[in-house]
Amino acid sequence: MNESSSPSHDFLTLADIVGVYGIKGWVRLRVRLDDPNLLLSLSDLTLIAAPEAPRSACQSVVVEALQVHGKGHIARLSGVADRTQAEAVRGHEIQVAAAHFPAAGDDEVYWRDLEGLEVWCTEDGLRSLLGRVKTLLETGANDVLVVAPCEGSIDDLEHLVPWIPDEVVTDINLPDRRIEVVWYVDV
């Protein structure tokens, strides 16, 4: 692994290193891609200890091998040759510059673009600020917005709102950084 000198760009997390596998430096991954094999073909991957870490603390990395293992994946990374080195990167993220991906289409949006957006709830004709999108969860049935409280929100609770277009999520306004939902809030 080499120190990355890339400037601070908008980066996407493609996988999380969640553990180690064996004694030859393989790591367990939680892959955030529909096609995990994309990790093998992308160049300029970056290994970072925490999302808020400075880009100067990053290392470039190559995914040399990737295999399905149980419900997840295991991978061999460049510069990680033994279990001790694999332990040292546990908890790190594998990221790539967002420029490697095409712009979202007219009816598409990347999850990263939703994080931080205000969520406005309409219930019985009344409109209220529910909070801000903290993250999204993939549950199998449908994705779920995790909405954290913010200044001006209706309560101090975290809300889980199912991502059901047109029925629950009625509008996404990226320029205004706002999502409109029809959702019952028990306060």
What is the structure's pLDDT at 50? 66
pLDDT digits 0-9 by tens, 80-96: 999 999 999 999 999 99
What is the structure's pLDDT at 56? 61
Which pTM was predicted? Answer: 0.65
d(CA 132, CA 10): 20
Q: Per-residue pLDDT for 184 more than 90?
A: no
Residue of 151, 26, 131, 126 whose CA lies nearest to 78: 26
Residues carrying CATH 2.30.30.240, the chain: 111-182
Which has more confidence, 53 or 102? Answer: 102
Q: Say whether 47 sits in a helix, a strand or coil.
A: strand
Which has more confidence, 120 or 185? Answer: 120
What is the structure's pLDDT at 3? 36
pLDDT digits 0-9 by tens, 2-47: 333 333 347 888 999 999 999 999 999 999 888 898 899 887 898 8
What is the structure's pLDDT at 54? 60
Assigned architecture for domain 111-182:
Roll (2.30)
pLDDT digits 0-9 by tens, 49-83: 866 666 566 888 999 999 999 888 999 999 999 99
Assigned architecture for domain 2-100:
Beta Barrel (2.40)
Residues carrying CATH 2.40.30.60, the chain: 2-100
